[in-house]
Amino acid sequence: MNLSSKKQSNFRRGSINHILKVKALLGPTNTGKTYYAMERMLSHSSGIIGFPLRLLARENYDKAVLEVGKSKVALVTGEEKIIPPTSKYFCCTVEAMPLDRTFSFVAIDEIQLAADPDRGHIFTDRILNTRGTEETVLLGAETIKPLLQKILPNCSIEIRPRLSILSYIGVKKFTRLKPRSAIVAFSIPEVYKIAELIRTKKGGAAIVMGALSPRTRNSQVELYQNGQVDYLIATDAIGMGLNMDIDHVAFASDTKFDGKIPRYLNPPEIAQIAGRAGRHSRNGSFGVVEDHLKFDEETIEQIENHSFFPLKNIWWRNSELNFDSLKALVSSLEAYPPFNFMRRKVGALDALCLNHLSEISSIKNKINNKEALILLWDVCQIPDFSNSLSGVHFSLLEKTFELLLANEKLDNDWIKSQLNRLNRFDGEIDTLLNRISNIRTWTFITNRQKWIDESEYWQNEAKTIEDKLSDELHNRLTQRFVDKRIVILNKTLKEHNNLEALIRLDGKVIVEGEEVGLLKGFEFIPSLSEGEKAGPILTAARKILPKEIERRVRELLMSDNAAFKFNIDGSILWQNNKVAKLTRGEILYSPKIIILNSEFLSDEQIKQIEIRVNDAVEKNIENILSEAINLKNPILNSEQPINESEKQQNISITINDTDKELGKSLSGKALGIAYQVYEGLGSAQTNNLSMSTMNLSEFDKRNLARLRLRLGVETIYLPNLLKPAAIKLRALLWSVYNQDFPKDASPPDGRVSIKTSPNVKREFYRALGFVPLGNLALRADIAERLSALIRTEARSGQFRINDMMLSIAGATKIQMEEILYDLGYSKCGEEPSTLVDQVPIIIFEKSKKVNRAKVKNFNKKTHKNKNYKDKRPSKTQNKEKLPDPLSPFAILKSIKIKK
């Protein structure tokens, strides 16, 4: 639009008191103002309406085309021009209205925007200067009425009431919002956050923001309008004439950034947005999503009654510009308004660009004539849709001006390079938004036909890129914020009234080719959000589940015991799916069974499953831990084979008839030891036994061996229960019984030592058959081997840690020191290492009583005290040592059978 044109017509008059009649239709949203204006325009021989948004211009253009045909309707916006040769009716943005044409009918929509700091001066200019030859209609809110009467005293004003009732309903949380609700926020991150929540809880939402291109906005609105989603997340972009089927508007924020500072919304702004709820005669409601956002009573009353304080000021800028010189142009822009309630607009984008470009020396020297100055001003009208006002925009304007001044046309190669840079569809949503902002600027430029050779070609190129970016952005928004399966399946449901469902072998539940959930065991886990739109789809899925559940129940009841597995968290797996869980029972070896709830299992099926699972659990425990369970009430069989440990010791035993009779019973002492090993899940600490293993008879030792027990110095244990399967089950039973499930505390399969955790009870390690020593836990048989080796080394008195000890325990020297302290040995000295830069070699000996804490403190002083007192008794104090009755050699001697 060339604002430098001096041509006057009946459409654009300089006088504000023109004799042609002007009518104003004022009132809140949903009063039919725009509908009235469109009808009046189409009843004239020609007409034009200026809309506040490109989107509204396009929407009403489409309506007019349906009414009178495409050849009679034109669309003129900053970025798009469709002007058939025979066009009579123009739908335009206010800024893009062609001021050099004459129309019988003229209408300006949303004239209260004259009070907008950014665009208000444009609306004020149209109110003052645009007239139809037969009829002029101004549309807007009642708040502008007093000022309009001052500007146009002969204007006929009609106040229109809202066609429906708008009511405040208070606080409604996101999850309790009814379908057909719009949620309003005022920043892009906040919009995204809310949309993610609605997708999770309700299945999805459409997005409407000012930063979207009209094509993307239309696609998102269509997604909502055709019922594919029931929720709309928007900025205040929905407040300006977007007509949608919204029943409720929920405010998620009450502040917005106005370009300078964040500020609270005022009542008219709230009403403009809230007014989107309820169309025609259908009532609407508005509210907030959090308690702290509640509106005060005065604001609510103003909005419900559509009664607001009138506007006190509107913005104005002189439109009769002087291009005789740069100074004259600037002076005309700074002219004062004709009314004192009009604020002079300063700092508009075009004025800022003019000020910046005119300071560039290469340009300053070229605008010494009127034509060059007019061209520079026209270049400054190029919009910055990114609203960044960055150096990139200034550089674009500078290059554009220089090319036009030198060649009168923009260079095709340059245009191509600029468009190619934007012809990309990768990146995140924000990247696409930025590209769309930039391509919209080029759509504007390519619509300036005088600036470009082959303008139609470049218009199509820019428009094609914008459309592709818009479509890609729409797809990205839909992918991120809408569960597409719900959209597809609801569309199918509307078309066919029913949905076909099936279950795959892997348990995936498929409805019309889309996965909607997974049947794990007897539990159906939907993968759709449980929103209103997902309801019919999940209902279709659930219809096919009972038959599959019944089949699975039959299969479970016929499964052998091996099909049921124990999980570390206490659950029971069948076909790798959780079907039950273990809970504490009366005794350690008999946990109770709880069948996991399923909406599809009948009471009878639950009872059958419980019986079968309980039987499998008992059998599996009995199978793995049978040797320990037998110790509760031990029964000896004379034919019972000898213990593996005895075989490893090469013990040769011949059983005569007398021994057979004696082996049929155990003494009370032996029974007590056996029972305590039973209570320990297959192992017991010797120094914690209620009765000593000292002085056991040969028969008791022999019979305990036949019960698979290994009588160690540190631990009495069942070697077969130190295998991985038994260790896992022992850990599980202890955890279930004690309701304590230590995390990552069980040893990996085959490991003979594990580092202990301070957060895990030592009783847990002992229940597994491991012996806590220092900060390690050693498997009982390994602990016995290590103990035997250390005893052998200690026979000569003092000894040192050797590689064999470290190898058996899988320990470092520091860890071995801790182990030795726990086994009752103390440090008695040290000697220098034979290796350079190595710590001294520490010497140990057997100590009668060791206070581990004191020993540790003593150890900390190693490098200060090089000599340690030998704690061994002197030779005069030595007494004859008795052989260890529990040593392997003593056991061999005691069980040797005399022939």
Which tens digits make up the pLDDT trace of 612-633? 999 999 999 999 999 999 998 8
- Kindly tell me if the per-residue pLDDT of 728 is higher than 90: yes
Q: Are 695 and 885 spatial neighbours (Cβ–Cβ below 8 Å)?
A: yes
Q: How far is CA 317 from the centre of its chain?
A: 48
| pLDDT in the model for residue 566 | 92
Percent of the chain with pLDDT over 90: 50
- Kindly tell me if the per-residue pLDDT of 103 is higher than 50: yes
| pLDDT in the model for residue 493 | 61
| pLDDT in the model for residue 530 | 59
- Residue 808: phi and psi, rounded to 5, are -60, -45
Q: In what order do the strands lie in the sheet with 523-526?
A: 501-503, 508-511, 514-520, 523-526
| pLDDT in the model for residue 486 | 67
Nearest Cα residue to 510 out of 518, 500, 502: 502
Q: How far is CA 111 from the centre of its chain?
A: 42
Place 634 in a pLDDT band, splitting at 50, 70 and 90: confident
Q: For the chain, first and last CA: distance in Å?
A: 125
Query: Helices 698-706 and 888-895 meet at what angle, rounded to 10?
Result: 100
735: tokens are: 């955890």
In angstroms, the CA 761 to CA 19 distance is 97
| pLDDT in the model for residue 653 | 39
Place 690 in a pLDDT band, splitting at 50, 70 and 90: low
| pLDDT in the model for residue 870 | 35
pLDDT tens profile 319-343 = 999 999 999 999 999 999 999 999 9
The upper half-sphere exposure of residue 297, i.e. CA atoms within 13 Å in the direction of its Cβ, equals 0
- Residue 184: phi and psi, rounded to 5, are -110, 130
Query: H or E stretch including 471?
Result: helix 455-481
- Strand bridging mode 514-520 / 73-76: unpaired
Q: Which residue has the tokens 């790798």?
A: 576
In angstroms, the CA 236 to CA 220 distance is 15
Residues 6+ apart with CB under 8 A from 340: none
Please state the rounded mean pLDDT for residues 82-108.
94
In angstroms, the CA 702 to CA 118 distance is 101
Question: For the chain, how are helix, strand and coil distributed in percent, rounded to 5?
Answer: 45, 15, 40
- Kindly tell me if the per-residue pLDDT of 115 is higher than 90: yes
Q: Are 510 and 502 spatial neighbours (Cβ–Cβ below 8 Å)?
A: yes
- Kindly tell me if the per-residue pLDDT of 173 is higher than 80: yes
Place 514 in a pLDDT band, splitting at 50, 70 and 90: confident
Beta strands in 306-389 (DSSP E): 314-316, 342-344
Please state the rounded mean pLDDT for residues 411-426.
93
pLDDT tens profile 386-413 = 776 678 899 999 999 999 999 999 999 9
Q: Are 710 and 645 spatial neighbours (Cβ–Cβ below 8 Å)?
A: yes
- Kindly tell me if the per-residue pLDDT of 3 is higher than 50: no
In angstroms, the CA 586 to CA 580 distance is 18
- Strand bridging mode 501-503 / 508-511: antiparallel
CA gyration radius, the chain? 45
Q: Are 666 and 636 spatial neighbours (Cβ–Cβ below 8 Å)?
A: yes
Please state the rounded mean pLDDT for residues 596-601.
85
| pLDDT in the model for residue 454 | 86
Q: Residue 494's CB: how many other CB atoms inside 10 A? A: 12
pLDDT tens profile 526-566 = 877 655 556 677 777 778 888 888 999 999 999 999 999 99
Q: What is the mean pLDDT of the chain?
A: 84
Place 226 in a pLDDT band, splitting at 50, 70 and 90: confident
Nearest Cα residue to 377 out of 361, 400, 395: 400
- Strand bridging mode 166-171 / 206-208: unpaired
617: tokens are: 């659990």
Query: H or E stretch including 895?
Result: helix 888-895
Q: Are 76 and 83 spatial neighbours (Cβ–Cβ below 8 Å)?
A: yes
| pLDDT in the model for residue 794 | 87
The SS3 assignment for 566 reads strand
- Kindly tell me if the per-residue pLDDT of 805 is higher than 70: yes
Query: H or E stretch including 594?
Result: strand 590-595
Indicate the Cα dihedral angle 342, 348, 354, 360, nearest 10°. 130
Give 841's strand partners. Answer: 831
Cα maximum dimension of the chain: 142
pLDDT tens profile 227-266 = 888 899 998 878 775 678 899 999 999 998 877 788 899 9
Please state the rounded mean pLDDT for residues 179-190.
91
| pLDDT in the model for residue 498 | 66
Q: What angle do CA 347, 351, 355 make, to 5 degrees?
A: 105
Place 840 in a pLDDT band, splitting at 50, 70 and 90: low
- Kindly tell me if the per-residue pLDDT of 370 is higher than 80: yes
In angstroms, the CA 175 to CA 289 distance is 10
- Going by the DSSP 8-state scheme, the letter that residue 143 receives in this structure is G
- Strand bridging mode 514-520 / 105-108: unpaired
Q: Which residue has the tokens 């998102």?
A: 220
In angstroms, the CA 486 to CA 203 distance is 7
Q: Residue 668's CB: how many other CB atoms inside 10 A? A: 9
Q: Are 734 and 697 spatial neighbours (Cβ–Cβ below 8 Å)?
A: no
Please name the amino acid found at residue 691: M
Please name the amino acid found at residue 9: S
| pLDDT in the model for residue 899 | 38
